[in-house]
Structure formats: C-alpha cells, structure tokens
Structure 1
C-alpha cells in the first residue's frame, strides 16, 4: 500500500505547475484522472524534442502515473460527467485563471454541493484574491515580480531568471503540501476546503533570509552572481578548466580552509571572522579567484573535500544525471513502453522507509482511458459511442494532438 492509496484526484491542470502537483500525488499512490480538453494539454505539442517523434519530452516529464480522459467542459454533458467523477473524489486540482471554473459552472460552491468533502486545489499566477488576481500568470513573470530576478545574475548585469521554472514548480509543491494538510484536517472535520497556491506567493515565501535582511536594514538586496549575501567565501569559483562551488559556512571551516590554501594573506585580521570577511568581500574574493586558477576543478574539489570543507563541481546535466550517487538514489529511472520503448525519467525525491512511492505507468496517451473511465462511471457502450461521436468526449483511437 502506498501512502495515498485510496485517494482519488480529478486533475484539470495543464502545462507545469498543476501537473507537477498531481504527479507528486500520483507517485505517492493517489489515483489521478487527468481531464483534458479536446485540444489536449498544451505541452503535448511543446517540442521538439519529441520521443520517437510521438510524445513531447516536456509532457512526459510531469504526467506519469495518470489516466487520461478527454471531456469538453463547454458542453453540458461534459460537465455532467465531470461532476459524476467528483462525487467520489477526494481532490480536484486546477490551474486556470481565477474565475474560470465559475464561468464553466463547476466552481468550488458547485463542487461542494456534489461532494462536501471535496478539496479543491487551485494554482494561479497571483492567487484567488487581491488586485492582481486576474493577471495572467507565467513563471518568468512571477520570478520578476517576486524579486528573484533582482538578486539573480552578476553584479551590475541585467536581471536573470532561474534556469528552472522555479515559480511553477514551487507553486506545485505548495499546492501538494496544502492538499496533504487539507486531507489530514478532513479526517477531523469530515469536510473539504479550498487550497489556494500562487506563483507570486511562492517566490515571496522563498525570499526567507533575503527578506529578513531587507526588514532589518531597509536596503534592497543586490545580485551577487554565485555568492551569498551573509557568508564569505560561499560561492562559485573558476578553476583552470571549469567551475566549482565552495561553502565555507563558519569560522571553524575557515580555519581548515586557510590551512588548505597555505596563503599568508589569509591570516590577515580583515578575514578573521565571517562578519569581517563579508565586509572585506571584494578583497578576499579577488585573492581566491587568482589562486584557484592554478589547478583544475577536480584537484581543488579533492583537496578541499579531504579537509572536510563543503565543495563540489558545477555539473552539467550530462554529469549529474549519469552520476553513480544519483543512480543509487534512484533519481534517474527507466520505464518501458510498447510505444516509446525504454524511457528515462527523473525519480521520486521523497524516500519513505516503509511505503515508498513508485512509478507504475508512463504518461498517458491523449484520451487513453476515456472509454474505461466512462464505463466505470456506469455509462453504457452506446452512451460512450454517442459522447465520442458528438464531441463530448474523445478516446485514444479517435484523436491525435501531435
């Protein structure tokens, strides 16, 4: 039994933030029914690359362990089928612009009428309330408005977004946490609630010590490249053949680091404590940058790690995704499909000792489970044929979004 066995999720999400949330729930055992519009999840067509010229690599990355049913929610019969799905569900997840479900006639109040215990998880750019609620939400917009881009990049350079979709993924994680909390609370109260997660709130919540620095000083934090505003040296350095990360997180580590470097200048009182090193950051970093040019990344990492100081290479994906540690941690796994062959994908990051999550199925083809789900809901073969013929639903054999 997986932790979320018995939990049923009706998944109206698409693109990234919502599918990441529902995939996490699915990995932990929830039954996730992905409800797609007749056009399909946008990311089914986001490529290249496509795997075997069929499935978008983007779509495949966040939709495993799910079933796919195609419903036209603009049709009354489509909404009727959806509400029938909701009757015995635990969670409905969506990431439309606020108000969209209400316009479709399937908002939270309607869902509650059909299932008082339902938990609605809504992910949006700016939340369900507030002056910005109706703004369209995109990851890069949230990174910019949420402050991340103002502190990312090199000093004096243009603002830079994170290389991953941090706002989308983070909002999906907060929504997952909210769903789990709401499920636990429902055990006491017997009723569901509305989980409201947003990309902007995610970016703000992750400011942590940078916001604390601002509250303490009233000064905006500035970009420091690969450095840290409160700890020195704690950043990326260049070696003769690449880059590595050094994290001298306290004064005890500093004493060990000085011994490794064997530079008389590091005995200077200006570097004796972390506050002094922060005050004299530019001088210290210039000294270290010059010294680190003398050896390779591998040589520096070896000698610094041997002294017990946190240090590691700046890896390319081809380095870390083939790393023996990563493989042993099952963070890169393989699954097989008759259509796609052997497919590599990222593993499950939360390791549970008794009931670990697992990957049971590859991401579904468009409408792959439409007929089976409709049959489980009690519709006859004639009903299902009628739904598919009239455009209320669609199955895998009749549709192809690529």
Structure 2
C-alpha cells in the first residue's frame, strides 16, 4: 500500500533531510536512519526519559524509522553503509558535498555500482557553484539570504527570524516530490538518478509571487508598514477585545460588504471612495475609518458579520487554539505516535492523507543505535563482521526501547 516495499537509507541531521524521510516513512517506506555516535543534533532539545518520555522535536522528524549508528571515520563503517545502500531504493542525505566526496559517498562515486539507487541530496545552495559547501540552515539560506525575510518583514520593523524548521519543511516536501518523480521514472528505465533540492531554490519558489514580478518588471513592492497599506480593507484589523482578524478581498463586492460590517454604508455613495481609490489622502482616511470600525466589534462579532457577508477572513489564531480546534482535527493536522516508553503523544501529521486507506502510522522514533545489529544483519553482514564493527567502535548498538514501539 502506497510506498510499502521501498527501502530508504537516510543519513542526515536537523530537519530538511530527516523530515523528507519521515514523510516517506509515514507513507509506508522502510526507512533506516544512519547517525553519528553523538546522534542527530535534534536529540538534545528535550529529554527522552521515563519521567519525560518522547522527544517531540526528534520524533516529529524521525518517527517510523529504524536507527543505526556508524562512525564513518573508523575502518569498515563506510563499507557497512555501502552494504545498506546496495539493498536500498533511495538514499537521502544533507551532509555537505565535500564531506561526502572525501568518503566516496557522493553520487558519482556510487552510481556505477548502484545504478538503481535514487540519490537525494538536500543542500543549502546546490551541489555546484561557489556556495556548494557553505553550511546552511533554513534561517540563513531560506529565510535571510533568499530575500524571503526582506520581502516579508515591513520596513518599519527590525528584522526577525522565522520559526525553526519553517523553510526546512518546505524543502522537505519538494524533496519528497522529486524522489517520487524519480521512482516513477525508474519504473520505466530501471535506473536511478541524482535528485537535488536546496534551501535557496525552495525559498525562491516559495516567494515566487513577488520574485516573478521582479524578474518581469525589474521592481516589486513587498511588505509595507501597516500605516502605508494601499487597500483599506485588506490585512489585519484589531478588534475591541484586543484580537486580530485578517481580511482578504476578492472582488469589488468585498469593499461594499466590509463597509456594511463596520456600519459605514453611507461611504458607498461617497465619490472619493469609488474603486479604485488612488488618492493618498482618501486612502489614509478610509484606512482609519475601517480601523475604527473593527475596533468597535469583538472578534466574534466581526467574524460573524464577515461570514454572513461572505468576506474571506480568518482570526489571528494561536498554536494553542489550533491544537484544540475541531476543524484542525477534522483536517487531519495531528497524529498519535508512540513515545517508546509505553505511551503516546500527538505530533503534526504529514500534509497529505489518503482517505481510502494508507499504512498505519505511529511507530516511535528510534533510540540512538537501537536497530544497528538487526539492520546490518538484513544487509548481509555476518554476526562476526557486526561484532567486529561494534567492538572497534565503527558501529554502535544502542539501547532498545523498553516498551513496544507501537503500530507501523
């Protein structure tokens, strides 16, 4: 069902690479996560103990996987990894290109021996060019350097960072799409291929509404200070109970209906406010009128009126409200995952679901090196070879989950 039967080896850390593999695992692929002895960096954010079971950050990016530890600096570890790749359909990595090449794990070094392998490289700035080996995170490449932050943050505010993983998860979805395109092609050709995604390219696509205008006309208007908005009934408005509601005008009727919402129908007959309003003084006056009108309504009252008049809008919600919202539950935003200690907790679900049937989701994220021995055995290594790797420190067999890992 779905991706069952696909074997994935993932050697990556932080978010973009691991979350790519987590989505594939959710959809039924058998995913093996390869970690260094110190483990994925996201393991350190929250404890995983009987008193506080289940690291939510690591689990969000690594649920449903089996985990092994290989120290690629030690003899035998690279060959053990290659044994896994010979049995795999897909290899996902966000290790920098230079490091992979030095270890003979770049695509060019592997493709002759493993012609069916789909090799997915998740990068900051691509595999070629002057920035190919520059360390990158979504906060640096996707958010700051790409122009996304500059286009998003109004000029009257100091720059601020995006939330962690925001650009990484966008890049992960692009990587999933590219991998599945390569899988489809392999059905026809029998050959794998190199798939490459980057934070910078995903950012350019994410901001491409503005970017396309800039490319076409040489200039673009991005985020303005709220006091300089050009459409009086567009954007966020503060209500009497100190909440905010966002209006998204679609047609000229929305201006009419917004005037009804704020109890100023007489303005519809004022020629100064006949669309399109271009006079700066009229725009500023109208903006103040709309602001004052919403300031007289509670959020509940404003949303009720906007809904009745079919004006596209949404309250400025909080994460706390989202996790309790019936609409979010109905949309499938969350899923339970085993914590590895006999309990479970909710995490964000992959952003697509399959109502007519899909693999069960819920297997815990692996403990560090939890499945090293069983994975190496399945790759064809003998017990003596595995013992030698473990004794030399090239591989590490970690602790087993003390409780059932839950349903797949």
Normalised TM-score (structure 2): 0.89
Distance apart, 1:307 and its partner CA: 1.4
Aligned alpha-carbon RMSD (Å):
2.7
Q: Which consecutive residues of structure 2, in runs of 5 or more, have no partner in the other structure?
A: 402-408
Q: Distance in 1 between matches of 2:152 and 2:115?
A: 44
Query: Are residue 10 (structure 1) and residue 9 (structure 2) matched?
Result: yes
State the match for 2:399 in structure 1: 397
The 5 Å alignment of 1:127-146 reads: 127-142=126-141, 143-146=143-146
Q: What is the CA deviation profile of residues 106-149 of structure 1, one whole-angstrom value per residue up to 9, with x for unaligned ones?
A: 11122212310111111111111122222211211121111111
| Residues 1:310 and 2:315 are matched in the alignment | no
From the superposition, tell whether residues 393 and 278 of structure 1 become closer, same or farther in structure 2 (CA, over 3 Å). Answer: farther
For residue 364 of structure 1, give the secondary structure of its aligned residue in structure 2: coil
Structure 2 contact 368–398 (Cα < 8 Å) conserved: yes
Match of 1:102 in 2: 101
Render the CA deviation track for 1:239-266: whole Å, top value 9, x for unaligned. Answer: 1221111112221333333333331235
Residue by residue over 1:171-230, the C-alpha shift from the partner in whole angstroms, topping out at 9 and shown as x without a partner, is 111111111111111122221111111111111112222123323443343423679989
Distance change >3 Å, CA 268–CA 164, structure 1 → 2 = farther
Q: How does 1:113-152 map to 2 (within 5 A)?
A: 113-142=112-141, 143-152=143-152
CA distance in 2, matches of 1:273, 1:355: 50
What's the CA shift for 1:63? 0.7
Of stretches 28-37 and 271-280 in structure 1, the one that deviates more from structure 2 is 271-280
CA distance in 1: counterparts of 2:115 and 2:36, whole angstroms: 26
Q: Which moved more, 1:83-92 or 1:150-159?
A: 150-159
How far did 1:92 drift? 0.4
Aligned partner of 1:379 in structure 2 is: 381
Instruction: Say whether 1:343 aligns with 2:354.
Output: no
Which residue of structure 2 aligns with residue 296 of structure 1?
Answer: 298
In the TM superposition, what is the alpha-carbon distance from 1:323 to its structure 2 partner? 0.5
What is the number of equivalent residue pairs in this alignment?
Answer: 398
Counterpart residue number, 2:250: 249
- 1:175 is the counterpart of 2:156: no
> Cα 1:70–1:49, aligned 2, differ >3 Å: closer, same or farther?
closer
DSSP 3-state at the match of 2:76? helix
Deviation (angstroms), 1:269: 4.0
Q: What residue in structure 2 maps to residue 364 of structure 1? A: 366
Deviation per CA, 1:275-295: give whole Å up to 9, x if none. Answer: 759996544332211111111
After superposition, where does 1:206-245 map in structure 2 within 5 Å?
Answer: 206-224=206-224, 233-241=233-241, 242-245=243-246
Query: 248-257 or 187-196, which moves further after superposition?
Result: 248-257
Task: Indicate how the Cα distance of structure 1 residues 364 and 191 shifts in structure 2: closer, same or farther if over 3 A, else same.
Answer: same
The answer to whether the Cα contact below 8 Å between 1:235 and 1:247 also exists between their aligned partners in 2 is yes
Q: What's the TM-score once normalised by structure 1's chain length? A: 0.90
Deviates more, 1:188-197 or 1:206-215: 206-215
Offset of residue 12 of structure 1: 0.5
1:321-368 CA distances to partner (integer Å, 9 max, x unpaired)? Answer: 110111122312223345162212112321223343541401111111
Shift of 1:6: 1.2
Mapped contact 2:119–2:195 kept (Cα < 8 A): yes
CA distance in 2, matches of 1:157, 1:33: 44
* 2:18 counterpart of 1:19: yes
Q: Is the 8 A contact 2:83 2:380 kept in 1?
A: no
Residues 330 and 398 of structure 1: is their aligned pair in 2 closer, same or farther, counting only changes over 3 Å? closer
Distance 1:375 1:270 in 2: 78
Partner of 1:182, secondary structure, is helix
C-alpha separation between the residues in 2 aligned to 1:106 and 1:14? 16
Could you tell me how far apart the structure 1 residues matched to 2:63 and 2:281 are?
A: 49
Shift of residue 158, structure 1, vs aligned partner:
1.8
C-alpha distance 8-286 of structure 1, shift in aligned 2 (>3 A): same
- 1:228–1:380 distance in 2 versus 1, CA, 3 Å: farther
Inter-partner Cα distance in structure 2 for 1:127 and 1:350: 27
Q: How does 1:183-202 map to 2 (within 5 A)?
A: 183-202=183-202
Q: Secondary structure at the match of 1:114?
A: coil
